[in-house]
Structure 1
């Protein structure tokens, strides 16, 4: 791989690594598994960087609504990565995004 090819991937790689630092780690997942109520789980997510994601009134919390929001957040992240990707990687990223977008649409339809 030449210098120009490496340079094409340096910025996207740095941005993706920065995004990765915001993900929940194993200990966070273990803590989340021990939470016994939906409102406590939403509080846990809000405390761990998902404040804007779950912009829902407390009385409206449902499992389906939270799943929809998490899935849409995932798709938004894939779209950000797609925008950062070099042209050669975009076909692969497009297929990944479409797979999740179809799942999101199914989830929304099933929740209605």
Structure 2
């Protein structure tokens, strides 16, 4: 089938490609993790925090600004406890400050 002339949705493309399907599953996992800990993050910091990649047992949280990252680092034990209670065992959290453009 020639897809050049038959457009498909992103969802269909991801289902047809093992690589894209794996990437989509990893993205969903990261978003689900952020949703699990969202209420533990102070409301004023939530817009500055994004779900980053999950690699092995390490999950990266992407944060805008070093002050927000410092506060988030204080919450790491609490966030890890929540993740463990939701089924993500032995998660190492990494906080990464996003560069300003």
**Could you tell me the TM-score, scaled by structure 2's length?**
0.31
| Structure (1/2) with the larger strand percentage | 2
| Structure (1/2) with the larger helix percentage | 1
